[in-house]
Structure 1
Amino acid sequence: MIAETVCSALSAAGLGIAAVTAYRKRFLAAARIAAYALVPVALVMTGIVDWVAGTAFSPTAWAGFGLLGAAWLLFASTRAVERRRGGTRKERRQARAAQRREAAAPEASAPALGPSTRPAARPASAPRTKSADDFSDIEAILKKHGI
C-alpha cells in the first residue's frame, strides 16, 4: 500500500515537472520527463512493485541472494586458483607430457654434422617491394596539394 502511494506521488510530481517544462516551450524535454514519470505508475499497475516489495522483506529471498553470492564467490575463487596453477588438470597433464617428450631426445633436433664453418648463404638480390610504389603515389598526392 505504501509502495503504491509513493509511486503515485512520484508520477504526479514528474508530470508536474513535465507541465512546467512544456510551459517553457521545451516540448521534447517535457515529453521525455512525462515518459519517465509514467514508469512508476506502470510498475504498480503490472504488479511488479508488489513482487519487489514482497521480495525485499522476505528472509527466504535474502537467503537465496546470499547463496547466489556464495556460489559466485566459489566460481570466481576456483577460476583464480586454476589460472595461478596454469590451467585445468587436463592441460597440466598435457604440458607435463610435452616436457617429457622434449627431455627424452634433446639432441634429436641438433644437426648431425655439427656447426658449419661456412657463413649462411644470402639470397642474390631481393626483388624490389611495392612499398616504393606506394611512396611514389603518396609523393604525387602531396605534390598535387602543394605540400
Structure 2
Amino acid sequence: MLAETICSAVSAAGLGIAAITAYRKRFLAATRIAAYSLVPVGLVLTGVIDWLTDVVFKPAVWLGFGLLALAWLLFMLTRAVERRGGRTREERKAAKAAPGDGAVAQAASSRPLTSGGATAAGTRDGSRKKSGQGTGDDFSDIEAILKKHGL
C-alpha cells in the first residue's frame, strides 16, 4: 500500500512539473516529462510494484539470486579454463592413445641436430648440408615474409 501511494505521489508531482513546463511554451519537454511521470502509475496498475516489493523483502529470493550468480560465475570460470587450453579427461586419454602426432614429434626430437640446423642424417631430400652454410639461410624465408608485410 505504501509503494502505491509513493508512486502515485511521484506521478502527480511529475505531471505538475509537466504542466508548468507546458505553460512556459516548452511543449516537447513537457510531453517527455508527462510520459516519465505516467510510468510509476502504470507499474502500480500492472502489479510490477507488488512483485518488486515481494522480491526485495524476502531473504529466500536473495538467496536464489546469490545461487544464480554463483552458477554464472562457475560457467564463466569453466569457459576461461577451456580457452586457456584446459582439456577434459577424455580428451587427454584420446591424445595419449592416438599415436599420430606424438610419434612424429618423438621421432623428430630423437634425432640430433648439427650446428647448421640440419639433422645428422641430412636434410629432407637426403643430401647433407655443407658446413660452410650457416643459420642465415634458415631465416631467409622468415625475413622475406617480414619484408613483405613491411616489418
TM-score with structure 1 setting the length: 0.65
Query: What CA distance in whole angstroms lies between the structure 2 residues aligned with 1:58 and 1:65?
Result: 11
RMSD of Structure 2 on Structure 1 (CA): 2.9
The alignment partner of 2:81 has SS state of helix
Report how far residue 8 of structure 1 moved.
0.4
Q: How many residues align?
A: 116
- Alpha-carbon distance change, 94 to 25 in structure 1, aligned in 2, over 3 angstroms: farther
Report how far residue 76 of structure 1 moved.
2.1
The alignment partner of 1:66 has SS state of helix
Partner of 1:39: 39
Partner of 2:125: 111
- Alpha-carbon distance change, 115 to 22 in structure 1, aligned in 2, over 3 angstroms: farther
Query: What CA distance in whole angstroms lies between the structure 1 residues aligned with 2:126 and 2:87?
Result: 39
Partner of 1:124: none
Partner of 1:7: 7
The question of 1:88 aligning with 2:90 is answered: no
Alignment of 1:1-147 (within 5 A): 1-84=1-84, 86-89=85-88, 99-106=101-108, 110-114=124-128
Query: What CA distance in whole angstroms lies between the structure 2 residues aligned with 1:31 and 1:53?
Result: 29
Q: Gapped runs of 5+ residues in structure 2? A: 109-118, 131-151
- Alpha-carbon distance change, 25 to 93 in structure 1, aligned in 2, over 3 angstroms: farther
Greater relative contact order structure (CA < 8 Å, 6+ sep): 1
The one-letter code sitting in structure 2 at the alignment partner of 1:56 is V
Query: What CA distance in whole angstroms lies between the structure 1 residues aligned with 2:37 and 2:47?
Result: 17
Q: Gapped runs of 5+ residues in structure 1? A: 117-147
Report how far residue 35 of structure 1 moved.
0.5
Query: What CA distance in whole angstroms lies between the structure 1 residues aligned with 2:58 and 2:75?
Result: 26
TM-score with structure 2 setting the length: 0.63
